[in-house]
């Protein structure tokens, strides 16, 4: 029994014909995505929720796929509206439904029109109106925004800016921070950094510790959440365009126990929820930990013990337990050469599993690679999909006229292939989310997608009950070339990705056989054809 609408079948047939005409994969993806398969039948009148480890909108599961474009408010505040227009145009045409962009800019230069917070309790209305416009543009484009509220790094002011404001008027007697005299700066994956020692005896960690600094942060958060958008009249805390708030971007500290950051996250997440119970709240952390307990063996991380030795001062495992934190969004980069693509897949699988075990949804909040982006992004997105995650945002999408701020950036038309990979996964995630999560009356299978296939195709099916499952791919002579499954599986939606890269062009077949654990429930067999085109 194949659950495909007539219109879906017609679209699939059109794509098969185009393949025979030797159209490019990206062109075919773009044509397929131009259909209404992505329409959910809902508008942004409801808030995204976390329900049992999955994101939902209006009671239906939703995944968020898109990019980081952190500089949008800054660009608009300085008069470059074309940047914002182009980024949201790319999001619309490539079916991204998430943009992660900065909800902060802390500085002291009154001549800088992009600075939002000039000092504690002093805010720049011009820059805030630019953020209003970004929010409204997202609303008009049907794109959700994820907004971090402060930076760990010195870019755009960051936590050290708060500490410098404090250090200007206070002595060092109240600072009880942990100092490592051998470390002057801490650096991140993209070359960003912050100073351990800020000045006048105060240090970076004082941001999390000192009550007055915490009150300044809370004042900024209150101002933003209670702000009325000057374009559309909507309070930020009432705007469903915002998918959620992140308390900080990549918080780190020198406290190897992780307790300092965790205490701050407990306090601030509760504070945000007290003002705004509607939106999701996340920590914004990178995903490091203080031990490798609950993670895969360290050899699966290429013996990179620094990922779990507490050196970043944060424990993902403990932070995700916080009741007022709704989702996780760890980051993934080749921080060092030893962090390979395979290590990245283990990183995704572990963090997704830990998050969902705590009842929290999982996104990959930032991910990037310097080289071989197309292959790596495919493998990492595939891992999120396979592990039932809720999406991710690549670092970062820039406009076509902008020189990348770092080597991770992508733009159109230069990086059309990389954007096309993300666009294709946007389709696959939306297809998964459309499948009912409860049991159906019978086992069913979707058509393989894409078909014809050049690289990877998805085989998806739904089990009505606990079953023994056998899934194989064989050639035209009946020889099994890939044995994808042969095990007992629980009820629900399943999928496998078949990689055709090592097989020549030609006709292949896939066969799904299921036998219910209850004998009277019967069995199910389906055979389908796959066309491989190189």
Secondary-structure percent of the chain, ordered helix, strand, coil, rounded to 5: 35, 25, 40
pLDDT of 309 over the 60 cut: yes
* Average pLDDT of span 49-63: 93
Strands (E) in 185-325, as ranges, are 185-187, 193-195, 197-199, 202-203, 242-246, 280-282
pLDDT of 449 over the 90 cut: no
Strands (E) in 15-162, as ranges, are 48-51, 54-57, 60-61, 64-68, 98-100, 117-119, 122-123, 144-148
Which of 68-82, 186-200, 310-324 has the weakest average pLDDT? 186-200
pLDDT at 45: 65
Catalytic residue among 246, 286, 366, 379: 366
pLDDT at 38: 41
pLDDT, tens only, 365-381: 999 998 889 989 999 99
Q: How far apart are CA 34 and CA 433, in angstroms?
A: 18
What average pLDDT is seen over the chain?
Answer: 85
Q: How far apart are CA 364 and CA 43, in angstroms?
A: 24
* Average pLDDT of span 438-443: 54
Residue 250 annotated in active site: yes
pLDDT at 183: 55
pLDDT at 515: 75
pLDDT at 107: 95
Q: How far apart are CA 310 and CA 307, in angstroms?
A: 8
pLDDT at 172: 55
> What is Dmax (Cα atoms) for the chain?
82
Catalytic residue among 86, 137, 250, 418: 250
pTM here is: 0.76
Among 220-224, 332-336, 414-418, the range of highest mean pLDDT: 220-224
pLDDT band at 404 (very low <50, low <70, confident <90, very high): low
* Average pLDDT of span 306-332: 97
Q: Which residue has the tokens 């962090």?
A: 339
- Name, in order, each residue with C-beta under 8 angstroms of 276's C-beta and a sequence gap of 6 or more: 225, 237, 245
* CA distance to 385, 451, 523, per residue, from 472 (Å): 21, 17, 16
pLDDT, tens only, 214-245: 999 999 999 999 999 999 999 999 999 999 99
414 φ/ψ angles, rounded to the nearest 5 degrees: -55, -45
Q: Which residue, 124, 308, 314, 122, is CA-closest to 208? A: 314
DSSP code at position 300: G
pLDDT of 21 over the 50 cut: no
Q: How far apart are CA 206 and CA 401, in angstroms?
A: 40
Q: How many other C-beta atoms can be found within 10 angstroms of the C-beta atom of residue 181?
A: 7
- Name, in order, each residue with C-beta under 8 angstroms of 143's C-beta and a sequence gap of 6 or more: 66, 88, 91, 92, 96, 97, 98, 99, 241
* Average pLDDT of span 452-477: 86
Residue 51 annotated in active site: no
Q: For strand 242-246 and strand 280-282, is the pairing parallel, antiparallel, or unpaired?
A: parallel
Q: How far apart are CA 313 and CA 350, in angstroms?
A: 19
pLDDT, tens only, 471-530: 999 988 888 899 898 887 888 888 888 888 889 999 999 999 887 655 445 678 888 999
């Amino acid at each position: 029994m194949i659950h495909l609408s007539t219109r879906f079948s017609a679209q699939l047939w059109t794509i098969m014909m185009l393949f025979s005409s030797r159209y490019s994969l990206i062109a075919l993806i773009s044509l397929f995505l131009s259909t209404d398969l992505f329409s959910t039948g809902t508008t942004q009148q409801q808030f995204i929720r976390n329900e049992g480890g999955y994101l939902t909108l209006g009671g239906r599961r939703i995944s968020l796929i898109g990019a980081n474009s952190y500089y949008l408010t800054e660009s608009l505040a300085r008069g470059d509206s074309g940047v914002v227009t182009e980024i949201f145009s790319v999001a619309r045409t490539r079916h991204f439904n998430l943009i992660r962009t900065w909800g902060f800019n802390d500085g002291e230069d009154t001549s800088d029109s992009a600075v939002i917070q000039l000092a504690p309790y002093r805010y720049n209305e011009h820059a805030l109106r630019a953020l209003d416009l970004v929010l409204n543009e997202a609303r008009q484009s049907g794109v959700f925004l994820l907004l971090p509220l402060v930076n760990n790094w010195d870019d755009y002011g960051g936590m050290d800016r708060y500490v410098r404001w404090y250090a200007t008027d206070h002595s060092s007697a109240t600072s009880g921070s942990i100092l490592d005299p051998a470390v002057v700066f801490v650096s991140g994956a993209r070359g960003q950094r912050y100073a351990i020692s800020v000045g006048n005896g105060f240090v970076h960690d004082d941001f999390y510790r000192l009550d007055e600094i915490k009150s300044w942060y809370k004042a900024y958060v209150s101002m933003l959440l209670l702000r009325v958008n000057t374009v559309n009249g909507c309070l930020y805390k009432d705007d469903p365009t915002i998918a959620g708030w992140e308390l900080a971007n990549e918080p780190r500290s020198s406290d190897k126990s992780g307790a300092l950051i965790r205490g701050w996250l407990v306090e601030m997440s509760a504070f945000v929820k007290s003002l705004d119970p509607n939106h999701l709240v996340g920590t914004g952390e990178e995903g490091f930990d203080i031990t490798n307990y609950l993670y895969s063996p360290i050899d699966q991380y290429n013996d990179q013990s620094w990922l779990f030795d507490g050196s970043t001062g944060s424990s993902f495992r403990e932070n995700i337990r916080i009741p007022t934190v709704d989702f996780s969004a760890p980051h993934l980069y080749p921080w060092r050469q030893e962090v390979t693509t395979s290590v990245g897949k283990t990183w995704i699988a572990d963090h997704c599993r830990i998050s969902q075990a705590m009842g929290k949804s999982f996104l990959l909040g930032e991910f990037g690679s310097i080289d071989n982006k197309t292959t790596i992004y495919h493998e990492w997105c595939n891992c999120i999909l396979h592990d039932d995650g809720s999406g991710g945002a690549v670092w970062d999408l820039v406009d076509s006229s902008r020189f990348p701020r770092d080597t991770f950036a992508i733009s159109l038309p230069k990086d059309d292939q990389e954007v096309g990979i993300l666009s294709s996964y946007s389709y696959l995630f939306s297809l998964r989310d459309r499948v009912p999560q409860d049991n159906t009356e019978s086992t069913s299978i979707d058509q393989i997608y894409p078909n014809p296939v050049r690289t990877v195709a998805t085989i998806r099916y739904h089990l009505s009950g606990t079953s023994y499952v056998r899934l194989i791919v064989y050639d035209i002579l009946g020889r099994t070339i890939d044995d994808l499954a042969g095990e007992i599986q629980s009820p629900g939606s399943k999928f496998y990705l078949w990689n055709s890269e090592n097989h020549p062009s030609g006709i292949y077949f896939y066969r799904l056989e299921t036998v219910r654990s209850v004998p009277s429930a019967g069995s199910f067999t389906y055979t389908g054809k796959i066309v491989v085109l190189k």
